[in-house]
Homo-oligomer: A and B are copies of this chain.
Amino acid sequence: MPLIGNTTYDELVIGDKATYTRTLTEDEIVLFATVTGDLNPFHLDSDFAGSSVFKERIGHGMWSGALISAAVTNILPGPGTIYLEQSLRFLQPIKISDSLVVSIEVVQKLERGRVVIACSIMNQTGEVVVDGKAKVIAPKSKIHMEKPELPKINMETSE
């Protein structure tokens, strides 16, 4: 079973960096729409999106925001991190099959365990598609834990 660990507030150093990679799939767009109720036709309607400025369906901006929170809470500082704030700028659309690299970097250590993290997401052509800043409370205690197992998801489309 793979383990995940964290970096405590005391251990964190300005300039600490981490990356997290993820590829957007069509199923993920549909699942994200289902779990949030965000039915924007740019994401779900091929005809609508195809005749728009985007020319094809795109991922939800907030899905990319969640990739950033995944990088922060899985990797740096990792498990035990408490999220306080997140800003996001959606600079370029994310298309199906885009391979994304989320990069995060500790840029400020504040009092009471607060940490500011600069965040960006780059696609496979080197474009920055999202950037922003996170403010979190970094973990006080060292944690090593098994990576939780997630269920297999099946989608039944009605006829």
Contact flags (1/0) for A59-89 with B, using CB distance below 8 Å? 0111101111110011000011111111111
Given contacts A31-B31, A84-B89, A157-B151, contact A36 B63 (CB under 8 A): yes
CA distance A39 to B66 in the complex (A): 11
Name the one of B87, B145, B150, B155 contacting A152, with C-beta atoms under 8 angstroms: B155
Residue A125, interface by CB 8 Å? no
Name the one of B38, B69, B88, B143 contacting A85, with C-beta atoms under 8 angstroms: B88
The answer on a CB contact under 8 Å between A70 and B158 is: no
Which candidate, A7-15, A41-49, A103-111, is the interface stretch facing chain B?
Answer: A41-49
The answer on a CB contact under 8 Å between B31 and A34 is: yes
CA distance A81 to B58 in the complex (A): 13
The answer on a CB contact under 8 Å between B155 and A67 is: no
The answer on a CB contact under 8 Å between A151 and B145 is: no
Q: Chain A at the B interface: mostly helix, strand, loop or mixed?
A: mixed
- A positions within 8 Å CB-CB of B: 4, 20, 22, 28, 30-42, 44-45, 48, 52-53, 60-63, 65-70, 73-74, 79-90, 143, 145, 147-158
The answer on a CB contact under 8 Å between B158 and A48 is: no
Please give me the residue from chain B that is nearest to A32 by CB atom.
B35
The answer on a CB contact under 8 Å between B156 and A48 is: no
The answer on a CB contact under 8 Å between B148 and A158 is: no
List B contacts of A81 (CB < 8 A). Answer: 40
A-B contacts, 5 of them at CB < 8 A, read A34-B151, A44-B148, A84-B89, A85-B88, A149-B158
